[in-house]
Amino acid sequence: MSQLEKLQMQGKHVLLGLSGGIACYKIAELTRLLAKAGATVQVMMSEAAEAFITPVTMQALSNRPVYSSQWDAREANNMAHINLSREADLMLIAPASADLIAKLVQGRADDLLSLTALARPIERCPLLVAPAMNREMWAHPATQRNIAQLRADGATVLGPAAGDQACGEVGDGRMLEAQELLDELIAFVQPKLLAGKRLLITAGPTFEPIDPVRGITNRSSGKMGFALARAAAEAGAEVTLVAGPVHLATPHGVRRIDVQTALQMHEAVLPRAAAHDIFIATAAVADWRPATMNEHKIKKDKSPDAPKSAPVFELTENPDILAAVAALPDKPFCVGFAAESQDLIKHARDKLQRKGVPLIVGNLGPATFGRDDNALVLVDADGERHLPADGQARDKLSLARELVADIARRLHAS
């Protein structure tokens, strides 16, 4: 587990139900990850699940006794399905077999898992299911009807993924991996401050080619922009991410458009901007590009009498993406980033006024490029505020969540 996931589930109590399936082996790792993320985990297992993984294993990993029968007499009132569901912040069934999903849809209660899912207080103990089954079972019309009804009844369906299956076939129906399930749960418990909003964000550097193998770029890793895209999606926004050349995985639930040059980023952003509620320009866009690109790689002239001067390139200015969006008649709420090497607040305030936007987020570029942590200063017409308040670097995902909350407040106030 990375530092970003540690304690992201602090204080949450997860009621974890296992139905029968070979994917039960993944839940041992998920339980360990949940504990490291600060959650407490209470495991329930169906009789079929015990054929794939033992209660002893799950008890050791959760540090709690495992329940598997609705007739379990350990509860004083003999009502484990009531007591355990009242203690939980959420109920996750993983793996969720086709049979178990059918039971949930029909409201059946003939084993502990289905009984508890039926008896839980819906308004404060949401149900999440992670399907796991053969590709043909997943594609069957009965299963698809059941999944649609399960969603209509308020459950959240996580996955499934496509890939190799235990039966040797390949296709949809494979349960998400433990880390993917953890990421889904972390996202699920975040406040939905941007529910119903559409957010467009740029991230990473641009690359302005000089010839087929060389170009002008910068050290931006894109990590802050990708963290913001993830945080906004967690907050319930529909997120489109326009990314320069970076080696980062697309955050779950985010639509990604890859570009290389500033012109390509401009062409990707401008037609879409007006259809969004928020635009965040985190990308470190090159201010200049070569006026012409050489068709072939520029070679050194190695002849003895060749001049020793370096090639000379004519540069032309790139379009200002943030200013162009801020000038639209139906512009979204615009947030710019200023990565500076000195006089951060002064340069950020100059940029705020020059671009005509309500908020500039400043940071010291050389101190944060490529790192997993950062410290920000929020500059607006009323002043500036450090994030975090003590000015000390924090992990970028935590900062992104705080910044998303700040933007949500500003958007609602406006």
Separation CA 108–CA 274 (nearest Å): 48
Q: Which residues are annotated as a binding site for CTP?
A: 287, 297, 319-322, 337, 351, 355
| Exposure b/e, 36-48, CB count within 10 A at least 16 = b | ebebbbbbbbbeb
**Which residues on neighbouring strands pair with residue 317, listed in sequence order?**
288
Q: Angle at Cα 179 formed by Cα 177 and Cα 184, nearest 5°? A: 95
The CA–CA distances, whole Å, from 188 to 92, 231, 256, 272, 347 equal: 11, 11, 21, 27, 37
Separation CA 260–CA 57 (nearest Å): 49
Distance of CA 185 to the CA centre of its chain: 11
Q: Is 334 a catalytic residue?
A: no
Structure tokens at 182: 């953890």
Question: Residue 394's closest CA among 372, 369, 364, 365?
Answer: 372
Query: For the purposes of burial, counting CB atoms within 10 Å of the CB of 273, is it exposed (0-12), middle (13-18) or buried (19 or more)?
Result: buried
The percent helix, strand, coil of the chain (3-state, each to 5) is 35, 25, 45
Q: Which residues are annotated as a binding site?
A: 287, 297, 319-322, 337, 351, 355
Separation CA 339–CA 319 (nearest Å): 18
Q: What is the pairing mode between strands 255-258 and 208-209? A: unpaired
Task: Point out the catalytic residue in the list 24, 125, 167, 334.
Answer: 167
Q: Under DSSP, is residue 155 helix (H, G, I), strand (E, B) or coil?
A: coil
Separation CA 81–CA 125 (nearest Å): 13
**Which residues are annotated as catalytic?**
167
